């Protein structure tokens, strides 16, 4: 199954592959023909002493020609196999990457980033090895073994048949080696994946690691994984050292004894062709290297197949991000949002939202407040169509959310997260985000609109300043403003805000609040508010508690109601709930 799918990747390159196999066959033929050529020279010229310069030159030239042909063709076939393998692995990586981007967020909730990286890099690399090393080695060596055996049979049927006793012996060694090395390989692969996961986690969480002085613990854990990996590699080397050379050499010795004994017995009874003996011994000796090569690659082949399995598993993952259903292509014109009896669970067991119903009229601001874990972010996750909805309905402009094209949805709904993600690149690129419709003018206009223009112009190269990974060179307030500009450059009809909780200086705070007020103007806004002071002018405030709306109304109404909101407000404003 896996191999069939792998070979399907080869189909577009079948012509090149065909030529590579032909070159490989011809190279092997030339290599097997060498000893025959010498046998012919020994039997027909050397033994009868028919030596003249012309014959000697002819033999030497012929032998050299065979060698050159073999080398040139080997070069050609190796190059072709490598090229094909690189093509295949490139395609495989592109496919996996494309697939990963289409996966739903719930997939990422349960898959560590490091293990994904491991699949896209290491596992596809192992598949590449399958095509580069394993496939060509198998074909080349199997062809050589068959060619050599056929030649032995042609040279001397009886002796060649006697040599067949090596096959079960070699088979036994091969089985033993493969059996043990597969276990070791599996261990190596798991360790590599674990190391990748650890690396990824360490790099992502460096601030926390340093803040909590976790360097020693992380280093110890990393050292432990690395030592285990070293141990696994060493076991493999020991296994190979024991089984490959010594065991195979012993079998070669047995074959040699059998052949020499038979030649010896024959010499008592009559004439023995020295040429045949030379060719026989030469081919026999060269027959064992291919067996070792095949053995070495067997576990690698199995390893690659398991890696391919992991890659295909990812390609077959059906936990996709929700996509549009139906043929209509509605557009968002007004920005009216309606939740109707929405009940939701991430894992299908624990309901994190129950019976959520509310409406945000065009241009209104609806604020979501509630204690941590009350379900605020989950409402946003559903509104952004990050997770599929199974119970209830979400409508935008009276049309179910599911009917919208992804493009329309993303263009009209501007999302601003607490921790804005900035990419490596210039400030301008981070605002434009590769959208060709967003001109330089629009980028700067958006930045001015959210009051980010002033600080951007103060950066060393203004809009062309390169940002480090995640915008590490900016302050958290500046990162916020930049993400506002990014959202506003798209001029969305709907704004979805997860208000930042980070403490910024008063000046930046004022800039942020002013920017938010500007942004909300004329746009339907759904905002998670951690500080109640920022949403007092909201048209509707939903108070969530354990996944349910327990109170709703304007700030004044909720204060007058003297419920949970009132308590939260007093707590935040005066540090006491009474």
Ligand X SMILES: Nc1ncnc2c1ncn2[C@@H]1O[C@H](COP(=O)(O)OP(=O)(O)OP(=O)(O)O)[C@@H](O)[C@H]1O
Chain positions contacting ligand X, by CB under 6 A: 109, 346-347, 352, 370, 372-378
Minimal distance, residue 396 CB to ligand X, in Å: 20
Residue number with CB closer to ligand X (210 or 501): 501
Shortest distance, CB of residue 502 to ligand X, whole angstroms?
14
Closest CA to 548 of 393, 373, 390: 373
Burial zone of 212 (CB within 10 Å; 0-12 exposed, 13-18 middle, 19+ buried): exposed
Cα 419 from chain centre: 25
Q: Which is nearer to ligand X, 347 or 557 (CB)?
A: 347
Q: Which residue has the tokens 């067949």?
A: 164
Nearest to 108 by CA among 98, 99, 100: 100
Planar angle of CA 202, 206, 208, nearest 5 degrees: 110
Which residue's CB is nearer to ligand X, number 252 or number 344? 344
> In the complex, what is the shortest distance from the CB of residue 365 to ligand X, in angstroms, rounded to a whole number?
18
Question: Which tokens in the block code for residue 26?
Answer: 């011809």
Decide if 450 contacts 481 (C-beta within 8 A). yes
Q: At its nearest, how many Å lie between ligand X and the CB of residue 370?
A: 6
Write the DSSP assignment of 489-503 as a string of letters: TT--SEEEEE-----
Nearer to ligand X, 111 or 426 (CB): 111
Kindly tell me which of 216 and 372 has the beta carbon lying closer to ligand X.
Answer: 372
Antiparallel, parallel or unpaired: β 337-345 and 494-498: unpaired
Give the phi and the psi of residue 278 in degrees, each rounded to 5.
-60, -50
Contact 517, 448 (CB under 8 A): no
Residue 352 or 519 having the CB closest to ligand X = 352
Between 140 and 374, whose beta carbon lies closer to ligand X? Answer: 374
For residue 354, the minimal CB distance to ligand X (Å) is 11
How far, in whole angstroms, is CA 531 from its chain's centroid?
40
Q: Which of 198, 201, 248 is nearest to 223 (CA)?
A: 198
CB of 198 vs ligand X, minimal distance in Å: 22
Q: Measured from the CB atom, is 352 or 540 closer to ligand X?
A: 352
The alpha carbon of 46 is separated from its chain's Cα centroid by a whole number of angstroms, namely 62
74 vs 480 by CB, closer to ligand X: 480
Q: What's the closest the beta carbon of residue 376 comes to ligand X, in angstroms?
A: 4
- Closer CB to ligand X, 111 or 377, in the complex: 377
CB of 324 vs ligand X, minimal distance in Å:
23
SS3 assignment for 205-246: CHHHHHHCCCHHHHHHHHHHHHHHHHHHHHHHHHHHHHHHHH
Tell me phi and psi for residue 443, to 5 degrees. Answer: -60, -45
Q: Shortest gap between Cβ of 3 and ligand X (angstroms)? A: 37
Give the position of tokens 């070792």: 292
In terms of Cα–Cα distance, which of 535, 529, 532, 534 is closest to 379?
A: 529
Which of 378/478 has CB closer to ligand X?
378
- Tell me how far, at minimum, the Cβ of 360 lies from ligand X, in Å: 18
Strand (E) or helix (H) holding 467 = strand 466-467
Q: Kindly report the three-state secondary structure assignment for every residue of 305-373.
A: HHHHHHHHHHHHCCCECCCCCCCCCCCCCCCCEEEEEEEEECCCCCEEEEEEEEEECCCCEEEEEECCC
Q: Are 123 and 303 in contact (CB under 8 A)?
A: no
Q: What is the Cα–Cα distance from 368 to 382, expressed in whole angstroms?
A: 14
Which residue's CB is nearer to ligand X, number 109 or number 537? 109
Least distance from ligand X to the Cβ atom of residue 350, Å = 7
Mapping DSSP to helix (H, G, I), strand (E, B) and coil, where does residue 524 land? strand
In the complex, what is the shortest distance from the CB of residue 106 to ligand X, in angstroms, rounded to a whole number? 7
Q: Which is nearer to ligand X, 345 or 475 (CB)?
A: 345
Cβ at position 363, least distance to ligand X in Å: 25
Q: Quick one: which of 380, 310, 299 has its CA closest to 129?
A: 299
Number of H helices, E strands in the chain: 22, 12
Q: Angle 166-204/274-316 helices, nearest 10 degrees?
A: 40
Q: How far is the CB of 102 from ligand X (least distance, A)?
A: 18
What six digits make up the tokens of 360? 């945000």
Please report, for residues 38, 139, 146, 385, 408, the alpha-carbon distance to residue 133 in angstroms, rounded to integers and kept in the order given. Answer: 31, 10, 20, 45, 47
Distance of CA 5 to the CA centre of its chain: 18
Indicate the residue among 37 and 107 with the shorter CB distance to ligand X.
107
Could you tell me the two tokens for 225?
A: 């994984």
For ligand X, the closer CB: 380 or 485: 380
CB of 377 to ligand X, least distance (A): 3
């Amino acid at each position: 199954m896996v191999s069939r799918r792998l070979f399907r990747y080869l189909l577009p390159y079948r012509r090149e592959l065909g030529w590579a196999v032909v070159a490989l066959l011809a190279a092997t033929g030339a290599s097997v023909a060498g000893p025959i050529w010498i046998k012919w020279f020994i039997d027909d010229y050397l033994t009868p002493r028919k030596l003249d310069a012309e014959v000697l030159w002819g033999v030497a030239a012929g032998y050299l020609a065979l060698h050159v042909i073999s080398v040139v063709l080997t070069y050609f076939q190796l190059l072709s196999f490598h090229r094909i393998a690189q093509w295949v692995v490139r395609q495989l990586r592109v496919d996996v990457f494309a697939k990963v981007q289409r996966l739903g967020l719930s997939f990422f909730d349960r898959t560590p980033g490091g293990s994904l990286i491991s699949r896209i890099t290491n596992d596809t690399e192992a598949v590449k090895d399958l095509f580069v090393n394993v496939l060509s080695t198998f074909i080349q060596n199997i062809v050589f073994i068959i060619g050599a055996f056929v030649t032995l049979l042609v040279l001397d049927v009886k002796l060649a048949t006697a040599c067949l006793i090596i096959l079960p012996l070699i088979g036994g060694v091969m089985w033993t080696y493969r059996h043990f090395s597969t276990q070791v390989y599996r261990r190596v692969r798991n360790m590599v994946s674990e190391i990748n996961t650890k690396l990824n986690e360490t790099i992502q969480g460096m601030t926390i690691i340093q803040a909590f002085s976790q360097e020693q613990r992380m280093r110890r854990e990393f050292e432990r994984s690395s030592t285990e990996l070293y141990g696994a590699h060493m076991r493999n080397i020991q296994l190979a050292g024991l089984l490959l050379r010594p065991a195979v050499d012993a079998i070669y010795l047995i074959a040699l004894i059998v052949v020499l004994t038979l030649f010896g017995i024959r010499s008592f009874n009559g004439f023995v062709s020295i040429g045949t003996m030379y060719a026989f011994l030469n081919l026999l000796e060269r027959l064992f290297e291919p067996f070792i090569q095949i053995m070495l690659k067997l576990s690698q082949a199995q390893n690659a197949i398991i890696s391919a399995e992991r890659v295909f598993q990812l390609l077959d993952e059906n936990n996709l991000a929700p996509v549009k259903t139906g043929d209509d292509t509605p557009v968002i014109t007004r920005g009216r949002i309606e939740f109707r009896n929405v009940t939701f669970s991430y894992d299908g067991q624990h309901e994190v939202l129950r019976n959520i119903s509310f409406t945000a009229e065009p241009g209104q601001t609806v604020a979501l407040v509630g204690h941590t874990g009350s379900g605020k972010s989950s409402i946003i996750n559903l509104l952004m169509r990050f997770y599929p909805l199974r119970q209830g309905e979400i409508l935008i402009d009276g049309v179910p959310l599911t009917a919208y094209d992804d493009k329309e949805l993303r263009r009209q709904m501007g999302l601003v997260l607490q921790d804005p993600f900035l990419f490596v690149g210039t400030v301008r690129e981070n605002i434009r985000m590769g959208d060709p419709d967003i001109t330089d003018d629009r980028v700067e206009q958006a930045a001015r609109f959210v009051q980010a223009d002033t600080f951007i112009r103060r950066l060393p190269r203004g809009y062309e300043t390169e940002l480090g990974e995640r915008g590490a060179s900016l302050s958290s307030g500046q990162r916020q403003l930049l993400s506002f500009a990014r959202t506003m450059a798209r001029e969305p009809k709907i704004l979805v805000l997860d208000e930042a909780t980070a403490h910024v200086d008063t000046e930046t705070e004022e800039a942020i609040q002013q920017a938010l007020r500007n942004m909300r103007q004329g746009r339907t806004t759904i905002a998670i508010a951690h500080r109640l002071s920022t949403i007092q002018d909201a048209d509707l405030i939903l108070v969530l508690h354990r996944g349910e709306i327990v109170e709703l109304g304007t700030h004044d109404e909720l204060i007058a109601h003297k419920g949970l909101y009132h308590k939260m407000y007093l707590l935040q404003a005066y540090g006491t709930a009474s």
